[in-house]
Amino acid sequence: MAKRRAGWALTARLGAAMLGAAALVPGVAGAQGAGAEWTTPAGTLQGTRYSTLTDITPANVAGLVEEFSVPSGLHGSQEGQPVVAGTTMYVVTPFPNSLIAIDLANAGAVKWTFTPPVNEYARGVACCDTVNRGASYASGKVVFTLLDDGVVAVDAVTGAQVWRTSMGEPLTGMTMSGAPLIVGDKVIVGNSGGELGIRGWVAALDLATGHEVWRAYSTGPDTDVKIGPDFHAFYPKDQGANLGVTTWPANNMWQQGGGTVWSWLTYDPALKLLFHGTSNPGVWNPDLRPGDNKWATSVFARNPDTGAAVWAYQVTPHDNWDFDATNEYIAVDLPWAGKANRQLLVHFDKNGYAYTMDRKTGKVLLAKPFIAENWSLKVDLTTGAPLFQAQLECGIGANPISFTGADGKQRIAVYTGTGWIAGGMSGGSCPNGAWDNNHAGPPPGPTTTSTATSGAVHVFKLP
């Protein structure tokens, strides 16, 4: 057992208790666990978020006391996690994305703080707060993304910048908030901003120089998505040429098709495969983009050296609900169907389903809800497709307004939709005469006999 360093008892040991409790199978996932250091966002390349340290147990965790704290000086949301290399902890703050080095052998004293210049404009276009999801450490460098689309590598000892690479321009609506993953000599990163007409991508930079090695888009022709002769999707629904174009309207909406890669990445050293999910499609209004909208809300397996796609699976076709498929795809070897150790991929999706997949082929072995959900009936394991709940979408009324009509008489108007997502509604009737998903019977107040299956503006007057 590695010797514990007293200076990081709070963080490492609390993490051991919390993350170890979530281990998929004790003793099995432990083979893919972090030890005395935590150098990737999820502790391991496989994304297990599991620690092999054993000092803290369910029996003594209640006795933990705070050893020290280090203020960030900011009030923004914190969605990342520290990384630990040797006796130093590294924390990336929300905007303006400072990197704080904390001495774990000296009661949490701050060694240095690196604060790069970051374009203030990025704060105004970040969709969901100015968060940062943390850094990765390798080869003496701490690497993290900046909200203004930069990726920066910092010398882990001195705090000096080693390189900085710009990946885009926030004036287009694109930002970066995800944590990099370092695989060998490649730094893997993705972009954010699918709500703002951004085309999603994942890219690899050279760890030594920051030079961009490859970039693979989530939408568009196969050449842009890096789908080539080595690509083999398991299900027919995901097979065919240039699906990143043909599953979109003919007006080239795929160019603003979302599918960003803003969350955590994982890697399987055994199969040498990189796994990443993609976000919701753009635009949010689903009525404007008929079709499956590939490859948004999907998972890819890629060669990290070239970016070439090996397989892909679209988790939620024609996403209506912002069901990003970007949560971790955890690579684990577990007993399955009589096999001692099957190479699996475990994913808990925003659509409410927990997926267990064969990570070599992309075949879905199990898909069960882990929370209450009502958008679908089930995932068909034969086709890999969800069976949509046809009677989910029902009327939702927005705020009513009052105005004077051309005849000088007062009117009341309300804009109603037929689904949850703001702005874009998809059709369907309510079960049992309900007027929305939470109320039975007809709506209160004036009613309309309209049979429209899309959103509509309803104007009412006195008889």
Does 285 qualify as catalytic in the annotation? no
Pairing of strands 401-404, 396-397: unpaired
Residue 92 corresponds to which tokens in the numbers above? 């990336």
Other Cβ atoms within 10 Å of 315 Cβ, number: 26
Place of tokens 């944590």: 179
Place of tokens 């006795």: 63
Length of the chain: 463
Does 322 qualify as catalytic in the annotation? yes
Residue from 195, 268, 333, 349 carrying the catalytic annotation: 195
Residues 6+ apart with CB under 8 A from 219: 199, 200, 225, 244, 245, 248, 254, 255, 257, 258, 259, 293, 294, 295, 296
Whether the CB-CB separation of 203 and 232 falls below 8 Å is answered with no
165-173: Cβ within 8 A, 24+ apart: 165/205, 165/210, 165/211, 165/212, 167/191, 167/203, 167/212, 170/119, 170/121, 170/122, 170/125, 171/121, 172/198, 173/125, 173/197, 173/198
Does 280 qualify as catalytic in the annotation? yes
- CA distances 48 to 242, 445, 457, Å, are 33, 53, 49
Backbone angles phi, psi at 236, to 5 degrees: -55, -30
Active site residues: 195, 280, 322
